[in-house]
């Protein structure tokens, strides 16, 4: 018995629709597998940015200078991104201060912001120096004015005297408040939190370079 042409057309149509729906689901699942997607990326206006400011992809790290995980990320993931993408002009990185460790976080972040305002060229050297000096014993008091003078004194481009004066006067506190507003806007609850454009990488994948690389490649359309 022959099937009605209409039934065959309907059956084919249903199969095509099912395949399209499946494809859409798979594409969405793939794009969301890296983490939560926001309507827009965090603004980097006024933030320290490393790399070509016109790079098509921006990675934003919400970090805390007293956070051990942030130290690990700075020493292991950052250099790989620098070699694979930043030096190629494909990616830039911005840092947003998060103050989860009290007064030491505040003082370290205020110092970094002050260095940036004084001489943006010296900021990233100081940024890496802070993480490199972070002690293994998190219970020990680390960030003090004496420590700031020690670290800043090791970087020629920093005017240590002017730096200490601005820190004493809390000159750049508004920048920390701006960062905290950004943290709240993107509901950052842990450090480091990494965003690739408008996608927040899952916490479980923060230290998985291959996942971050895939997210960057997708953002680049590669």
pLDDT digits (tens, 9 = 90+) for 1-55: 555 666 666 556 667 555 544 444 344 444 458 999 999 999 999 999 999 999 9
Listed in sequence order, the residues at least 6 apart from 195 whose beta carbon sits closer than 8 Å to its beta carbon are 38, 41, 42, 59, 60, 62, 186, 201
80, 216 in Cβ contact below 8 A? no
Distance (Å, whole) CA 4 – CA 8 = 6
Mean pLDDT computed over every residue of the chain: 90
- Looking at residue 187, its pLDDT comes to 97
Q: How far apart are CA 46 and CA 177, in angstroms?
A: 13
Please identify which residue in the block is written with the tokens 């890496």. 128
Rounded-to-10 torsion of CA 155, 160, 166, 170: 60
Which of 192, 199, 193, 191 has the alpha carbon at shortest distance from 215?
199
- Residue 126 neighbours by CB under 8 Å, 6+ apart: 111, 112, 115, 151, 152, 155, 158
CA geometry: angle 90, 203, 101, nearest 5 deg: 100
Q: Which pLDDT score is estimated for 22?
A: 43
Task: Specify the pLDDT at position 64.
Answer: 98
Q: What's residue 20's pLDDT?
A: 46
Q: What is the pLDDT of residue 138?
A: 84
Q: In whole angstroms, what is the distance from residue 210 CA to residue 193 CA?
A: 16
Whether residue 173 has pLDDT greater than 60 = yes
Please tell me the predicted confidence (pLDDT) of residue 14.
62
| The predicted structure's pLDDT at residue 110 | 98
Burial zone of 191 (CB within 10 Å; 0-12 exposed, 13-18 middle, 19+ buried): buried
pLDDT digits (tens, 9 = 90+) for 118-145: 999 999 999 999 999 999 988 889 999 9
CA 94 to chain centroid: 6
Q: Extract the tokens encoding 116.
A: 């940036």
Phi, psi of 70 (to 5 degrees): -65, -35
Q: Is 2 exposed, middle or buried (0-12, 13-18, 19+ CB in 10 A)?
A: exposed
Phi then psi dihedrals of residue 196, to 5 deg = -110, 105
Residue 4: the pLDDT is 60
| Neighbour count for residue 221 (Cβ, 10 Å) | 7
**pLDDT above 90 coverage of the chain, percent:** 82
The C-alpha atoms of residue 125 and residue 154 are separated, in whole angstroms, by 10
Give 97's strand partners: 63
């Amino acid at each position: 018995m022959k099937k009605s042409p209409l039934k065959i057309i309907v059956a084919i149509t249903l199969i095509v629709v099912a395949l399209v729906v499946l494809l859409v689901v798979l594409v969405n699942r793939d794009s969301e597998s890296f983490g939560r997607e926001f309507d827009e990326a965090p603004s980097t206006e006024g933030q320290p940015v490393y790399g070509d400011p016109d790079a098509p992809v921006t990675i934003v790290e919400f970090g805390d200078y007293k956070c051990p995980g942030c130290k690990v990320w700075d020493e292991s993931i950052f250099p790989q991104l620098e070699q694979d993408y930043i030096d190629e002009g494909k990616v830039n990185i911005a840092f947003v201060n998060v103050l989860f460790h009290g007064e030491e976080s505040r003082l370290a972040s205020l110092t970094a912001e002050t260095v940036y305002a004084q001489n943006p060229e010296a900021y990233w050297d100081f940024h890496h120096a802070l993480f490199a000096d972070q002690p293994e014993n998190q219970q020990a008091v680390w960030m003090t004015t004496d420590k700031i003078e020690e670290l800043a004194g090791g970087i020629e481009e920093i005017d240590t005297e002017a730096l200490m004066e601005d820190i004493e006067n809390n000159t750049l506190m508004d920048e920390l408040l701006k960062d905290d507003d950004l943290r709240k806007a993107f509901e950052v609850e842990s450090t480091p939190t990494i965003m690739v454009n408008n996608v927040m990488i899952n916490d479980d994948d923060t230290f998985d370079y291959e996942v971050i690389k895939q997210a960057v490649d997708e953002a680049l359309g590669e």
